[in-house]
Amino acid sequence: MAEIHMRAYERGENSVDFMLEHNLKHAKTVIDNEEKFSPSLFVITKDTLYYVLLDNTHAYETKSSPMDQVEPLIRGFQRDAEKMGKIETYQVIGEGWMKKMSTKTEGLDKMRYGDISKMAGRIEVLMQIIGNNKEIKFSTFEMIRKNDSDKVIDYKEMDTQDGHVESGKFPVL
């Protein structure tokens, strides 16, 4: 079973947009300082910001993605809405690998978590997923590293308009 670590912070007068921007900036700062960034779920209610670290160890042991933990967590928050507050928006931030390929690629249905990390032509990315009661928005930033170094020197936002990302891992509220 996944071990989830969560903290709750008073939202105060902060807008949803301010918190989303702040969380993304925080993730980039952690990575820029060459620290390990754990995939994270931020749940925003009227009064509270919940910061949930997804369980990498459980994901590794079950050969799954930490992102597979998001949908059950969101459903748990929704079941406990009376105690936790109704979710206005949620945000997921995590690092990963991407590879541009056709959805008609042979064997795509047999791909498993971690397969892309072994492919030639892959790129390292920072992903942001934002969900609310209308839609799911994906933003992806290519992580440009200094040659022969782990130091990230830039985050290049990728244009994903010509395609779209679908995933049952991130529910519309």
User: If you write DSSP's letter for every residue of the chain in order, what string do you get?
Assistant: ----EEEEEE-TT--HHHHHHHHHHHHHHHHHTTPPPPPEEEEEESSEEEEEE--HHHHHHTT--GGGGHHHHHHHHHHTHHHH--EEEEEEEEEEEE----TT-TTGGG--TTSGGGSTT-EEEEEEEEE-SS-EEEEEEEEEEPTTSS-EEEEEE---TTS----TTS---
pLDDT, mean of residues 22-31 = 95
pLDDT, mean of residues 100-126 = 63
This prediction has a pTM of 0.86
> Which pLDDT does position 149 carry in this prediction?
85
Task: For residues 52 and 40, give the distance between their C-alpha atoms in angstroms, rounded to a whole number.
Answer: 6
pLDDT, one tens digit per residue, over 153-168 is 999 998 866 545 556 7
Q: What percent of the chain has pLDDT over 90?
A: 60
pLDDT, one tens digit per residue, over 53-108 is 999 888 889 888 899 999 999 999 999 999 999 999 999 999 987 766 666 666 55
pLDDT, one tens digit per residue, over 44-67 is 999 999 999 999 888 889 888 899
Q: What percent of the chain has pLDDT over 70?
A: 81
